[in-house]
Amino acid sequence: MDGGPGPALGLTPTSSLCDNERMKTCALCFALCCGWFGAAAAPPNLILINVDDLGYGDIGPFGSELNRTPNLDRMAAEGRRLTSFYAAPVCSPSRAALMTGCYPKRVLSIPHVLFPGNAEGLAPGEITVAELLREAGYTTGIVGKWHLGDQPEFLPTRQGFDFHFGLPYSNDMGPSMDGVKSNLGAPLPKPRANEQPPLPWLLNETVIKRVLADDQTTLVRRYTEEAVAFLQLNHARGQPFFLYLAHNAVHFPLYPGREFQGRSGNGLYGDWVEEVDWSVGRVLDAVRRLGPEGNTLVLFTSDNGGTPRGHNTPLRGYKGSTWEGGMREPTIAWWPGRIPPGTSTDAVTGMIDILPTFVKLGGGTVPSDRKIDGVDIWPVLAGDPGAGSPHEVFYYYRGLKLEAVRQGSWKLRLEPGELYHLDRDIGESDNLASAFPAVVQELRDVANRMKDDLGLDGIGPGCRPLGRVENPQPLIAPDGRVREGFAPGQGPRR
């Protein structure tokens, strides 16, 4: 358990464990993919890049003059900025919305985020975007952070993904600094002794390593290598793929790669932002080099608002809040020849729209046996002249509580009743409630429509059951033992 994880799908394997896992994965991919598509037009490849805690103003296309992001600058110049794209205030709810096309509270009714060894997770009965795309003939892979439950029943390989390489949750959820001195020019955070179990690095359902501080400095590079290997493998086969690249960067604690440390001149945070930009460039270059760029949609976004370590300018607030700075994300859509270059849209879109949009583009079918809150936003991405905002109303939930509602350009914060016009006041600095009492009342009525669905606070009738297991166990126990069935050579117990 002391050696670093080698490339699981890379071209130069470094360990017999990864060799074996790669052969299993390749065989699975081949069996799943062969024979599904004939002479019909090939469906598009779909890549979703999701950064952790990136601020709205942390990258050049959204106004940063501090961090150098040339690859994202080019992506925006060749694609379309989505300036009113919403997630949730924190990690797990945001990812639940992404996976299911629903408001987080509908499918993961928890007050904050999931932690290692929790009995709860995204219910196995929920249908994910990965499951629907796999049914439509796609090979599906997640490289990076999952954070929707670390019990076997909740892992991505049980939720529609053929392949997973990464961490089951945030990079701070474990005492990763044990016995390792800082080489980052800043002190490491103190261990959380007996609070959380060691942090596991997963390859599918095998714990290939306990993550230590030095390993954290390799996260972006290794994720990028795996992402490129995944698209190379599937491109070589001529098979459509869905790749979900979910970076742990730029979540605290900050661990930029050694080659990026000190390069930005803006501290460890700026270094890590610039490493993420490098990663985006590597992925886009691979797509361009392999030649499927005319048939590959890439969507770049963040899972929630930035923290005070970053920059949310011109938005107010940070991660964990329902101010715009907590939920509005810097988002770029890229598909040469299909998405108009150098454009932007302020149409209200969000994580809830990824499932219906990707599934329709992939030729799949969105479930009709359950409520889906998202819609197909392809007309918005494509810049269709008649495409208006796909959401007349957007609801801002913080955990189980509805804190705000947006209709058109108006946003009402329900307590204490503050009204903002977002087109003219994106920074939410001018409370217009006293000047527009009729608008306040109208938006209160809009908010009350949720009373009999998701509820205004607590569990509403429209909330579906959480996934829950008995006797939950961490993947690595505090004493270092790997959970039975997840150690190298054991294979998963199903």
Distances (CA, A) of 192 to 195, 434, 476: 5, 48, 15
Q: Which residues contact 369 (CB under 8 A, 6 or more apart)?
A: none
Q: Are residues 357 and 385 in the same domain?
A: yes
Do 225 and 368 belong to one domain?
A: yes
Q: In terms of C-beta density within 10 A (0-12 exposed, 13-18 middle, 19 or more buried), how is residue 379 classed? A: middle
331 vs 76: CA distance, rounded Å: 9
The one catalytic residue in 29, 91, 102, 463 is 91
Q: How many domains does the chain have?
A: 2
User: Which CATH number belongs to the domain containing residue 84 in this structure?
Assistant: 3.40.720.10
60 to 12, 251, 253, 316, 321: CA distances (angstroms): 34, 19, 23, 19, 24
Are residues 337 and 414 located together in one domain of the fold?
no
Q: Cβ(356)–Cβ(100) under 8 Å? A: no
CA distance 142 to 150: 15
Partners of 432 in beta bridges: none
Q: Pick from 344, 373, 391: which residue ends a domain?
A: 391
User: Which two tokens mark 286?
Assistant: 């691979």
Q: Please tell me the distance from the alpha carbon of residue 243 to that of residue 424, in angstroms, as a whole number.
A: 37
* H-run or E-run covering 21: helix 16-33
- Give the predicted TM-score (pTM) of the model: 0.89
378 shares its domain with 443: no
For residues 321 and 448, state if they share a domain.
no
Residue found under tokens 């949720």: 450
Q: Same structural domain for residues 282 and 413?
A: no
Residue 99 three-state SS: helix
Query: Do 439 and 312 fall within a single domain?
Result: no
Q: Report angle CA 377, 374, 111 to the nearest 5 degrees.
A: 140
Helix (H, G, I), strand (E, B) or coil at 350: strand
Q: By three-state DSSP, how is residue 371 classified?
A: coil
User: Any bridge partners for residue 202, and if so which?
Assistant: 166, 207
CA dihedral 331, 382, 393, 59 (to 10 degrees): 10
One domain, residues 280 and 214: yes
Residue 2, in any domain of the structure:
no
Q: What is the pLDDT of residues 196-244, one digit of tens each?
A: 688 999 999 999 999 998 999 999 999 999 999 999 999 988 889 999 9
CA 187 to each of CA 192, 198, 211, 213: distance values in angstroms, whole numbers, following the listed order: 15, 20, 18, 12
Is 439 domain-assigned? yes
Same domain, 54 and 89: yes
Do 457 and 324 belong to one domain?
Answer: no
pLDDT of residue 491: 56
11-41 burial: b if 16+ Cβ within 10 Å, else e: eebebebbebbbeebeeebeebbeeebeeee
Q: Which of 147, 164, 247, 251 is catalytic?
A: 147
């030095």: which residue's tokens?
214
Rounded Cα–Cα distance for residues 226 and 144 (Å): 9
Nearest by Cα to 111 from 468, 407, 401, 462? 401
* 311 catalytically annotated: no
pLDDT attached to residue 11: 31
Judgement on whether residues 49 and 150 belong to the same structural domain of the protein: yes
Strand, coil or helix: what is 119? Answer: coil
User: Does residue 25 sit within a domain?
Assistant: yes
Please provide residue 166's backbone torsions phi and psi, each rounded to the nearest 5 degrees: 160, -155
The answer to the question of residue 182 being in a domain is no
**What are the E-state strand segments in 172-294?**
200-203, 206-210, 241-246
Please list, in sequence order, all residues whose beta carbon lies within 8 angstroms of the beta carbon of residue 445, skipping any fewer than 6 positions away.
none
- H or E element, residue 332: strand 328-334
> Of 343, 375, 391, which one is at a domain's C-terminal end?
391
Where does a domain end: 339, 356, 391? Answer: 391
Listed as ranges, residues in the chain with pLDDT below 70 are 1-41, 175-196, 292-293, 490-494
In a domain, 52, yes or no: yes
**292 and 325 housed in the same domain:** yes
User: Can you tell me whether residue 405 is helix, strand or coil?
Assistant: strand
Torsion of CA 244, 249, 255, 261, to 10 degrees: 100
CATH of residue 419:
3.30.1120.10
With beta carbons less than 8 A apart as the criterion, state whether 393 and 412 touch.
no
**Residue 308: burial class (beta carbons within 10 Å; 0-12, 13-18, 19+):** exposed
Q: Answer yes or no: is 494 within a domain.
A: no
Distance CA 112, CA 109 (A): 9
Q: For strand 296-302 and strand 328-334, is the pairing parallel, antiparallel, or unpaired?
A: antiparallel
Provide the 8-state DSSP code for 192.
Answer: -
Range of the domain at 154: 16-31+41-177+187-391
Q: What are 419's two structure tokens? A: 């009204």
Residue 1 domain flag: no
Query: Using omega within 30 degrees of 0 as the cis cutoff, is the peptide bond preceding 156 cis?
Result: no
Q: Is residue 239 part of a domain?
A: yes
147 is catalytic: yes
